[in-house]
Structure 1
């Protein structure tokens, strides 16, 4: 379900760019506008231009149909999340929304797939590559193996944790310290690894996130 939603969401801006490209040679500029008013703005520009309208109007109709399907898939995702206790517990983690938790849950599929929660980050390509030879030993960029959508979701959540969530907790404070030393991108990647571990741990032990909790919640950041 998350994969289908993401694929449909991606088609909406593609269609909008196509429409902009068709209008531009005629001196018609949609301009910077949000998703909602896009259709009305484009149709206003087409007023009185019947030949161009005959070409562009079906594309606008197709775009609107895609948006309706996105909304439908989003509602289905919310319904699926409400019926899944593991997902409900995962979204107690700050920065982890329904789609992040549901994508993680669907991709892992079986929580027993990983004997250790520390292995989850590597499975989704969030572990740095290491280059070794007789004269070289250096750490490179992340491997980017595994499911691309889940990796992207796990990366988006730390960005929210580090930049938009005002309340502090151990994982966020650890990530902020790392960001000051190595930059936001590397910090977000490291937090994503820790987050994958945390979500799997919550799934395994049946608990929820608690601000200021010790034990496993406190060890997640330290082990990342």
Structure 2
């Protein structure tokens, strides 16, 4: 047997499966390694190509292996699955990873730095906090509706309900119910404060980098989206064109084509859900301005005349993603389109 040149590493919580082959493709290593022994094992191996599926801890292990002199490659799990021959176990997964990482057409995931992971964690925590804020607001409205107390939709309506909960002289609420609702109101105040603090950190993160400041010049790209783009797209060079970035985000139509028949459907909704959501929301904010000044954006105005606003927003989000990729690659600033 020759020297190992390629290793497929199936990551897990405590037990990792390793599958290594030599230059001729012969199996050299097939074994399990405990978490505490993983770095020690790779420290004794010669520099080789190590493939892993992109998952929760993959970026950490990729950085550790690169520090030991190996070449770490991360791949989307859905691209590795076709190489699993039969059955589902750790050994078969590691063998599939070892084979997939050597394919010339394989698409890889850029290894994120700890700073980029920390910035992306701000956005994930923001989603959790916003979801909790919505849950608490809905719970307050539902419980008070049981006593015939309702308020208009929106922040002002919720403030009216909170005033009723705080007013002990309002006898429409029983004492036991008011005690429970005050617990929810206190929890809602804590979550609101945490959301504001999180937003301040995201804005500071967006302004901290030169790229983030340039991206905020694009219409529809605010501090939240700019920070998320810098954190999620760690290496724009892995995308050949801006269309590839838009496809990775999931802003391209789903295809069901065969032969000369080309069938395009709605967007595929694959890829980065958070970036797609933020890009579409930003595009929806641009559309009212485009309708008021039709000469500034004739392309968008003509599209709005033929399609619904949400369809046009997805098309504009696709265009924004391609613009962002060009700015990342070239280092240029945003240039507004010339008026017709």
2:152 alignment counterpart = 31
| Partner Cα separation in structure 2 for residue 168 and residue 52 of structure 1 | 54
The structure 2 residue matched to 1:191, chosen from 316, 330, 333, is: 316
Deviations 1:98-126, CA, capped at 9 Å, x for gaps: 11111222221222231322211100111
- Preserved CA contact (<8 Å) 1:126 1:142: yes
Matched, 1:203 2:328: yes
| Partner Cα separation in structure 1 for residue 186 and residue 293 of structure 2 | 43
The structure 1 residue matched to 2:221, chosen from 74, 96, 118, is: 96
Q: Quick one: higher RCO (CA 8 Å, sep 6+), 1 or 2? A: 1
The 1:201/1:42 distance shift into structure 2, 3 A limit, reads: farther
- Preserved CA contact (<8 Å) 1:20 1:29: yes
| Partner Cα separation in structure 1 for residue 238 and residue 295 of structure 2 | 29
- Preserved CA contact (<8 Å) 1:124 1:145: yes
DSSP-derived class of the 1:37 partner: helix
| Partner Cα separation in structure 2 for residue 177 and residue 109 of structure 1 | 35
- Preserved CA contact (<8 Å) 2:164 2:170: no
1:67 alignment counterpart = 192
DSSP-derived class of the 2:264 partner: strand
1:20 alignment counterpart = 141
- Preserved CA contact (<8 Å) 1:178 1:187: yes
1:222 alignment counterpart = none
DSSP-derived class of the 1:132 partner: coil
Matched, 1:141 2:266: yes
The count of aligned residue pairs is 213
The structure 2 residue matched to 1:43, chosen from 166, 178, 187, is: 166
Q: TM-score normalised to the size of structure 1?
A: 0.85
| Partner Cα separation in structure 2 for residue 25 and residue 5 of structure 1 | 31
- Preserved CA contact (<8 Å) 2:211 2:328: yes
| Partner Cα separation in structure 1 for residue 295 and residue 128 of structure 2 | 34
Matched, 1:2 2:127: no
Unaligned 5+ runs, structure 1: 215-224
RMSD, aligned CA: 2.4
Unaligned 5+ runs, structure 2: 1-121
- Preserved CA contact (<8 Å) 2:249 2:276: yes
Structure with the largest fraction of helix = 1
| Partner Cα separation in structure 2 for residue 137 and residue 122 of structure 1 | 18
